[in-house]
Structure 1
């Protein structure tokens, strides 16, 4: 699932292509809105809200989309052949004289009154890359359930909006705690949240989710997707297991030397019964 910085960049691309332009094509290829025709309306703006995209259109309408695991928006120049995926995977088409934005495999395509946007995004916590960012409120929400594992709490968009699994793992490493550490045992929840904002803000207009400061491929993260490789700080082997609860389980990565806290027992690269691990 894209992180908040990736969605921020997607919104910027869509805004640059569509904002201020009158739609020559406005098709929503989903059953709920198959008869909707947005052609002739002007696009006002495209804004991100956490991992959600809000395309505001004149007449008081908002197209709400979410990429989740497989969705993507691609912008094509006038006359350019669409090459993002097979045509049967197209879920939305927003075309202007300047270009066409095509939404592939979008799991969420919802046409709302702009005044009803709260129905789609009102549950979200403070947006790490939004004008409503409030570090104190994000910390308060995280600490409201002190027994919850920190990676799970960071991924809960009701606490703070924009963190995906890459940043959840990397933030645990930077805080020197395992992903299963209870939020209430964090050395400083305030420092963790501040670091989250710092990382997403630094990466909002570049790809790669860089957390190490090194933009070279393979060197961009400390532990994420580095199972079996040596920790860049101490040389210990980075481990992996699942975190979260089904069906929302995701891979966790951690250094058993640099990170304190609970972790599953790992044998032959597989996770076993929960145990305790520290340094």
Structure 2
């Protein structure tokens, strides 16, 4: 009752009315502790420096929000798919909580308009800034409103309005897992050689990955994390794997294996 009475004042007359309005417009409620939400919007490139030299930004809230989103998503899928096995739910959860999906949700609800950046080209070139801010915001909501509240918000509003479980179920973006499964099924070894590019900036690391099947290079990829680079390397393999290419590759692998065994 008190919150209901304070809502108009906070949104129209309080010192932080712009922040209150922003959260109300994005998520449909007025926060208790607005400072958490302010912090959730500060990207590390625009970190505030305290008198003792410590930098504060949204990374800690991002860490917390990541765990909260994964827990809520697990609840959601367990209820939505009572007859599906653990493997199916794990794969679908990874798609929902991926940086790509969360970045898309952040843009769709308009969160990208409020994230505080330093404005440099390197910062703006990063792909998942807004998805990271979305995670930080869920961490703030969890601390401010509790788990049950963020659970209902994510499932009943954000996921249902901005995600299509049918499309996600039919899509396939975990190319690394597919490639590993294919190699295991066909009795081939698979590994990824991933390194950080020497010329990448400290605040914007880039990684390069090479996929090797039986020690033969078959694909390459790059990304802003080791995981992304390896996915891109696996994706490059999948794009070249026509039936003819696959057969030729297996023949080449077999020749290399036989050659090694004969020495």
Instruction: Specify if TM > 0.5.
Output: no
Q: Determine which structure has the larger helix proportion and give its number.
A: 2
Larger radius of gyration: 2
TM-score by length of 2: 0.29
TM-score by length of 1: 0.28
